[in-house]
């Protein structure tokens, strides 16, 4: 069997390199990637939403699709929900449905951008009534989180302006901080709020939380339960995202990720499909932080919430999600193969080429044998995508028809 030979060879190579494969296997087992309910529905660009047949028609069906992804990959036990897209009358029922499928509800995501009232801002609106409404929605989401057993609120504000003069930057900032402070008080003892930032879109002049620094200054005013969420597609071109990741880890303020890939703007494509090396380098920082001297840095690295946030405009949704999860797992596995001591030695001697190669070599390693071995040891299919194709699920859901959930 080439698979066995491949793993034997892989194992020999990594032992030669001083890599402890048992520890790698353990760390692989600790990785959990949350998939988003909305990733199973229809989405598109401002020009067109192409509807796909078989898309789930309600939150329950979304969870069913997410369960398939978890069953095949073994690392997606939780599902993020979005309110009101996933609003239901009975959240206990939704929670039970998830549990029945072997899942739990993950981050709760408020929606503060699709109500007509929010045309000129939600928590930053000049109208106190609308700000109140927005904060009430945040509080509602905190309550829902408690009901569904979630301990994470994932906060993205679309608030911003399109033209110079349209809004008062500082006043809006203070309103935003006030809203967050009120929400913070409503967090349960084990809950966290993750504050997302975004370079631009849907606002095209200024976005109230435009970069990690703006999310960070909000988070430190609140306390330890407030952290920053990094969406890999929310930066200016050229930004060194892994550097930001390292800084946030150093500050104990990295709360989670929204994974996706991009070439241009917030393209929300399959994570790892464009510039996969960047994803690897992000995990290099995380893996290094897991081995940091400072226990606060280690603790931060261990509690990162990894979440997919993509818009599958032209791809079939479930396979796109499986591919995304596999890409994350692949780059994480590669990062685990970096010999950190070796890198450190090169760094100490300013051996630039040596250090660079020590990192890149891990990236260039084919981790397929490792991942197959890990999956087989857990009774998971060696090739989740292939298993999906053979499962007949894609055909089965066609009965749902065209025109399911979308945003």
Residues 217-256 that bind a copy of itself (CB under 8 A): 217, 235-240, 242-243, 246-247, 249-251
Find the binder of a copy of itself among 18, 22, 170, 185 (CB under 8 A).
Answer: 170
| Geometric angle at alpha carbon 256, from 106 and 83, rounded to 5° | 40
CB of 392 to a copy of itself, least distance (A): 18
Question: Residue 149 or residue 252: which is nearer to a copy of itself going by CB?
Answer: 252
Find the binder of a copy of itself among 84, 102, 213, 224 (CB under 8 A).
Answer: 213
Measured CA to CA, the distance from residue 336 to residue 340 in angstroms comes to: 9
Measured CA to CA, the distance from residue 266 to residue 284 in angstroms comes to: 23
CB of 323 to a copy of itself, least distance (A): 6
Q: 3-class SS at 394? A: helix
Question: Residue 364 or residue 376: which is nearer to a copy of itself going by CB?
Answer: 364
Neighbours of 369 (CB within 10 A): 21
C-alpha distances in Å from residue 395, one per residue of 125, 300, 311? 46, 42, 22
**214 is a site residue for a copy of itself (CB under 8 A):** yes
String marking each residue 266-285 x if it binds a copy of itself according to CB under 8 A: -x-xx--xxxxxx--x--xx
CB of 333 to a copy of itself, least distance (A): 12
Beta pairing partners, 269: 261
27-45 core/surface letters (b: 16 or more CB in 10 A; e: else): bbeebbbbbbbbbbbbbee
**201 is a site residue for a copy of itself (CB under 8 A):** yes
| Geometric angle at alpha carbon 122, from 116 and 123, rounded to 5° | 165
CB of 206 to a copy of itself, least distance (A): 5
CB of 9 to a copy of itself, least distance (A): 6
Q: Of 1, 14, 39, 52, which Cα lies nearest the Cα of 259?
A: 39
Find the binder of a copy of itself among 21, 66, 142, 158 (CB under 8 A).
Answer: 158
Find the binder of a copy of itself among 120, 133, 143, 394 (CB under 8 A).
Answer: 120
* Cβ–Cβ < 8 Å for 233, 262: yes
Residues 6+ apart with CB under 8 A from 70: 35, 76, 77, 101, 102, 103
* 8-state DSSP, 211: S
CB of 250 to a copy of itself, least distance (A): 5
Element (H, E) at 306: strand 305-308
**57 is a site residue for a copy of itself (CB under 8 A):** no
CB of 367 to a copy of itself, least distance (A): 9
Measured CA to CA, the distance from residue 384 to residue 357 in angstroms comes to: 31
Judged by CB under 8 A, the chain residues 340 through 369 that form the site for a copy of itself are: 343-344, 346-348, 350, 352-353, 355-360, 363-366, 368
**60 is a site residue for a copy of itself (CB under 8 A):** no
Find the binder of a copy of itself among 18, 163, 189, 395 (CB under 8 A).
Answer: 163
Find the binder of a copy of itself among 124, 262, 374, 380 (CB under 8 A).
Answer: 262
Judged by CB under 8 A, the chain residues 88 through 107 that form the site for a copy of itself are: none
Measured CA to CA, the distance from residue 375 to residue 236 in angstroms comes to: 37
Interface with a copy of itself (CB under 8 A), residue total 111
């Amino acid at each position: 069997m080439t698979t066995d030979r491949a793993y034997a060879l892989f194992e020999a190579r990594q032992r030669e390199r001083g890599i402890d494969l048992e520890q790698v296997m353990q760390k692989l087992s600790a990785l959990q990637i949350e998939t988003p309910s909305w990733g199973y529905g229809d989405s598109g660009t401002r020009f067109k939403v192409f509807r796909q047949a078989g898309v789930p028609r309600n939150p329950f069906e979304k969870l069913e699709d997410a369960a398939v992804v978890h069953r095949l990959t073994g690392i997606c036990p939780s599902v993020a929900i979005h309110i009101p897209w996933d609003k239901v009358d009975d959240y206990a029922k939704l929670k039970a449905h998830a549990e029945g499928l072997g899942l739990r509800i993950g981050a709760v995501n408020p929606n503060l951008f699709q109500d007509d009232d929010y045309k000129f801002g939600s928590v930053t609106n000049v109208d106190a009534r609308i700000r109140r409404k927005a904060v009430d929605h945040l509080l509602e989401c905190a309550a829902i989180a408690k009901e569904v057993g979630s301990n994470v609120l994932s906060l993205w504000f679309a608030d911003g302006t399109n033209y110079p003069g349209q809004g008062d930057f500082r006043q809006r900032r203070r309103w935003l901080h006030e809203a967050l402070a009120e929400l913070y008080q409503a967090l349960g003892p084990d809950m966290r709020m993750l504050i997302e930032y975004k370079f631009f879109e849907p606002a095209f002049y200024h976005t109230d939380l435009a970069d990690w620094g703006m999310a960070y200054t909000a988070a430190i005013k609140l306390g330890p339960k407030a952290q920053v969420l990094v969406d890999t597609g929310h930066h200016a071109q050229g930004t060194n995202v892994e550097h930001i990741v390292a800084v946030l880890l150093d500050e104990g303020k990295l709360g989670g990720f929204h994974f996706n890939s991009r070439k241009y703007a917030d393209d929300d494509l399959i994570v790892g499909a464009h510039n996969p090396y960047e994803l690897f380098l992000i995990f290099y920082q995380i893996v290094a932080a897991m081995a940091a001297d400072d226990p606060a840095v280690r603790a931060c690295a261990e509690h990162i919430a990894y979440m997919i946030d993509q818009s599958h405009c032209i791809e079939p949704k479930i396979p796109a999600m499986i591919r995304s999860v596999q890409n994350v797992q692949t780059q994480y596995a590669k990062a685990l193969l970096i010999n950190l001591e070796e890198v450190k030695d090169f760094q100490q001697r300013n051996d630039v080429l040596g250090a660079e190669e020590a990192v890149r070599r891990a990236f260039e390693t084919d981790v397929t044998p490792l991942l197959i071995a890990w999956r087989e040891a857990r009774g998971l299919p060696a090739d989740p995508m292939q298993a999906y194709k053979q499962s007949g699920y894609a055909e089965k859901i066609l009965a749902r028809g065209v025109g399911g959930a979308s945003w």
